[in-house]
Structure 1
């Protein structure tokens, strides 16, 4: 008799790069080449950009918290930027350059306008003198531009290979349609991601991540929260806006408008003396300014943070309502109400000139399976959005190094717990913050208990800012001060492609028909049992969550400086430049997987959501 031999486990597909060339980017000016610049995106689409500020439907204040005898959390308008796939246009018609005439490319500054005053806001946030910081911004990133086309046309084509081929219109055509309107005259419809920034952030602070996702076929709405969590932002007011400081928060919603009407003459008299805008700086918790510090004995200011999250959710709802209007063919209403136009503070002179909402944007978006995504405090916002019943249009969430201490505790009511898929992508520096790590794991297990898919991962060698633009603009400072080990551009790439793999599983096939143009990195195609977490770079208690430890750092840096030979095994950016970090790990070693669903659960979920066909096709292509 022959002895029974256990079959060898089936080898997993090898990672494969995308066969689609990157879309074009705007030409960089000479001063951008000399100073710090943002990298071009690697997806097959060029990226368009527009910024919108709209009065909210119900202006109101949140919480009784006051600063200078005024309510600190006031919702007058909502401001957001939209990163989206476009066709690219170096000479768009109808647009003008600030301070000059004639048509030209309108470049988007990375530092929000007014740039000098925004730099002062960052100085206040970091508690440093503003003159040195403003001067440093002026010398480095004051003139840095985001590699996007302002107000470009929404793309009406499918991605094409280097040979000019494209088969996307047929891929997935046999799948059942989600909403009865899968395409618009053969043009693609695009899935939507709502992005929430962290403390000290803005609508452009994570433009590298947002732009990368847009270049792969997503419309990404990057919020600018006015809840006192950003370094500095400006709110444009309308002439008929109510005086929110006259509100009595103890009154009911029905009583409130009458109070405003009673005070209308006084408000009109006051408005003649006030500016048509106001400034919102970062709000430090009273008597607990550093409530984000892991060594803070007083804990998190739950009253302030809970009120900020509630206001953030209201802002996200307002931005989504604007998308509904645009998608329903009512873009003219958005255009008429937009406050980010010439003459208003923080605005480009181009406003929304050149945007054709009616012909380009009508019925162009999938608004029924939206993804919520956020970094740091934005991750806490994402958790609460997934728990909140009224966000029925959000179907999954992506947490980028979330600050879990700011999230409310799990509700005893089952319907208020997370029941939607989650991907958490953390940094190694935050992984060593045990209280935060345990809180994230508890959130993930909350979702798993409800039967939702959940992944919890860590990017090796990364720190908290590795998922923001600061990492790619100031990589040397990140390496020297925060001891970031991974290449900054590679960290962004791993973040984005982890998200793409997650969305390929959790979104229906109609919304992932661009997946042939995505690189197949197999970042999530592992179980937690295969991960061996190392603690070589765990910092001392003093620097927990802030930085990593690099053993033999001087010798390592010297060896890296001396050995600059081209290593063919190193990953590369779209231009072919190797992405070298202080340490380089091979495929399958760059990400640690702490929690992951069983393969059977993933297959069951894909079958239930009718998204199994595109994913199986991708895996078959990788094996072949």
Structure 2
């Protein structure tokens, strides 16, 4: 790891890695003695590791929007082009301790110990977007709905979302309530006097004093439970949640009154008539990649989809023929396996664009923000970093995504300069897949 910081005492930790098999995606523990040196992290001790800012022409703002306080409501982080300002307030990458607890549960770690480690390493990390900044009206922006992976939540892909917003998109990163997020919350009505719990942090204050937080954590498979049964049910709910978020954006764009359950100074009415709702894409990572496919089947308003290292097990293959929109699979080199790629290939079409590239030297966690916030030693030990520079890897993914979106959303931009990336034409890309598929399987 780069840089020098304080030493966290030698501790027995669980280090995890993704297990890939035909039965599904699992996060399994490997016990290791690990002297955790918190060196070169972005939590105030060393500024060399941080989430990259957007490279586009727009400064980026973000806000949280919860519509409907019950579990059936909608919750997402909204990224958007904003007005320039001096010394903007940047939001915490991990909003509060409950999310650290959720990550600990998902990784099967002790909550108390892991909270101290996570808070030390990441507690002061900020997202490079201005919190509740004034929206920048500049014509009509195309829209992207983003779906997170298993055990993640709405803020963990901020590098991707910030970059897309800086390039002139409005991005809604949904936080799923299907028990696949490591943690999320909603509100329940408070009825008993004198027992109301305080909210976990200021940004989660509800507009009504009669509401209190209810936290929902990741649900692991039960003994004997079939993985497909659970994940198939979840992917359908996830798609419904993405479509619900899109409907809310339609309401905002049309000028309808949309009440944010969370107290917020951001004025949603400033976004009226600001979205190009003929140009909408769906995007996601891992389980979110499967959600992309399910969304394309359920909602034709999504004109195309970008699936990052998609995990295909949750999907009914029966839906594949009904999907008519273009799909772009962007895979890591180290994660994919034969069965998963075969399922992607079943979506190939002679008439509908279905593209696939693989980024050399990448791992499954090369897409979430963790890859930027750990030094080389810890990053590789925990499989959060691949052999390639993470900035190069995500830059390739983002540029290829933008070129694909320009083609299939008919955008009048200069993203076509990166068209060769869609076909894997770069020293760090593989056209298609690095996985050898037996001819009999094809």
TM-score (norm 2): 0.79
User: What SS does the corresponding residue of 2:418 show, helix, strand or coil?
Assistant: coil
What displacement does 1:88 show?
2.0
* 1:318 alignment partner in structure 2: 244
Structure 1 pair 525–133 and aligned structure 2 pair: CA distance change class (3 A): closer
Once the two structures are superposed, what CA deviation does each residue of 1:64-84 show, in whole Å capped at 9, x if it has no partner? xxxxxxxxxxx3321101111
* 2:105 alignment partner in structure 1: 124
* 2:370 alignment partner in structure 1: 470
Q: Does the 8 A contact of 1:372 with 1:396 survive in 2?
A: yes
Structure 1 pair 387–485 and aligned structure 2 pair: CA distance change class (3 A): same
Choose between structure 1 and 2: higher strand proportion.
2
1:479 aligns with 2:380: yes
1:280 to 207, 216, 226: 216
Q: Whole-Å Cα distance in 2 between the matches of residues 207 and 30 of structure 1?
A: 16
* 1:458 alignment partner in structure 2: 358
Q: Whole-Å Cα distance in 2 between the matches of residues 229 and 439 of structure 1?
A: 22
Q: Whole-Å Cα distance in 2 between the matches of residues 146 and 320 of structure 1?
A: 23
* 2:267 alignment partner in structure 1: 356
Q: Does the 8 A contact of 1:327 with 1:362 survive in 2?
A: yes
Once the two structures are superposed, what CA deviation does each residue of 1:462-500 show, in whole Å capped at 9, x if it has no partner? 000101101111242233443611111111111111101
What displacement does 1:118 show?
1.7
* 1:208 alignment partner in structure 2: 159
1:155 aligns with 2:136: yes
* 1:392 alignment partner in structure 2: 300
* 2:35 alignment partner in structure 1: none
Structure 1 pair 286–270 and aligned structure 2 pair: CA distance change class (3 A): farther
Alignment of 1:82-101 (within 5 A): 82-90=78-86
Once the two structures are superposed, what CA deviation does each residue of 1:420-479 show, in whole Å capped at 9, x if it has no partner? 100000000123x11112112223x1xx15x21110111011000101101111242233
Q: Whole-Å Cα distance in 2 between the matches of residues 216 and 33 of structure 1?
A: 28
Q: Whole-Å Cα distance in 2 between the matches of residues 120 and 83 of structure 1?
A: 25
User: What SS does the corresponding residue of 1:37 show, helix, strand or coil?
Assistant: coil
Structure 1 pair 367–32 and aligned structure 2 pair: CA distance change class (3 A): farther
What displacement does 1:270 show?
11
Q: Whole-Å Cα distance in 2 between the matches of residues 504 and 468 of structure 1?
A: 23
* 1:556 alignment partner in structure 2: none
* 1:194 alignment partner in structure 2: 145
Q: Whole-Å Cα distance in 1 between the matches of residues 271 and 102 of structure 2?
A: 35
1:383 aligns with 2:322: no
1:434 aligns with 2:338: yes
Q: Whole-Å Cα distance in 2 between the matches of residues 486 and 40 of structure 1?
A: 19
Q: Whole-Å Cα distance in 1 between the matches of residues 392 and 235 of structure 2?
A: 31
* 2:402 alignment partner in structure 1: 500
Q: Does the 8 A contact of 1:214 with 1:220 survive in 2?
A: yes
Structure 2 unaligned blocks of 5 or more: 1-41, 198-210, 434-442
Q: Does the 8 A contact of 1:88 with 1:149 survive in 2?
A: no
Q: Whole-Å Cα distance in 1 between the matches of residues 72 and 317 of structure 2?
A: 29
1:308 aligns with 2:146: no
What displacement does 1:277 show?
2.3
1:140 aligns with 2:121: yes
Larger deviation, residues 464-473 vs 318-327: 318-327
User: What SS does the corresponding residue of 2:104 show, helix, strand or coil?
Assistant: helix
Structure 1 unaligned blocks of 5 or more: 1-28, 60-74, 92-104, 157-186, 240-267, 290-299, 342-350, 532-586, 596-624
Q: Whole-Å Cα distance in 1 between the matches of residues 119 and 382 of structure 2?
A: 21
User: What SS does the corresponding residue of 2:251 show, helix, strand or coil?
Assistant: helix
* 1:340 alignment partner in structure 2: 262
Once the two structures are superposed, what CA deviation does each residue of 1:541-570 show, in whole Å capped at 9, x if it has no partner? xxxxxxxxxxxxxxxxxxxxxxxxxxxxxx
* 1:220 alignment partner in structure 2: 171
Q: Does the 8 A contact of 1:238 with 1:276 survive in 2?
A: yes
Once the two structures are superposed, what CA deviation does each residue of 1:371-395 show, in whole Å capped at 9, x if it has no partner? 010100011111111112xx12111
What displacement does 1:519 show?
8.0
Structure of greater Rg: 1
Q: Whole-Å Cα distance in 2 between the matches of residues 505 and 486 of structure 1?
A: 28
Q: Does the 8 A contact of 1:50 with 1:151 survive in 2?
A: yes
Once the two structures are superposed, what CA deviation does each residue of 1:94-144 show, in whole Å capped at 9, x if it has no partner? xxxxxxxxxxx43211002xx222211111100011223211112111111
Q: Whole-Å Cα distance in 2 between the matches of residues 116 and 35 of structure 1?
A: 24
* 1:107 alignment partner in structure 2: 90
What displacement does 1:210 show?
0.7
What displacement does 1:503 show?
0.8
Alignment of 1:531-610 (within 5 A): 588-594=426-432
What RMSD in Å do the two structures reach over aligned CA positions? Answer: 2.6
Q: Does the 8 A contact of 1:50 with 1:81 survive in 2?
A: yes
* 2:180 alignment partner in structure 1: 229
Q: Does the 8 A contact of 1:36 with 1:144 survive in 2?
A: no
Once the two structures are superposed, what CA deviation does each residue of 1:345-398 show, in whole Å capped at 9, x if it has no partner? xxxxxx2x1x3333x31110011331010100011111111112xx12111111
Q: Whole-Å Cα distance in 2 between the matches of residues 461 and 519 of structure 1?
A: 25
Q: Whole-Å Cα distance in 2 between the matches of residues 418 and 76 of structure 1?
A: 26
Structure 1 pair 521–321 and aligned structure 2 pair: CA distance change class (3 A): closer
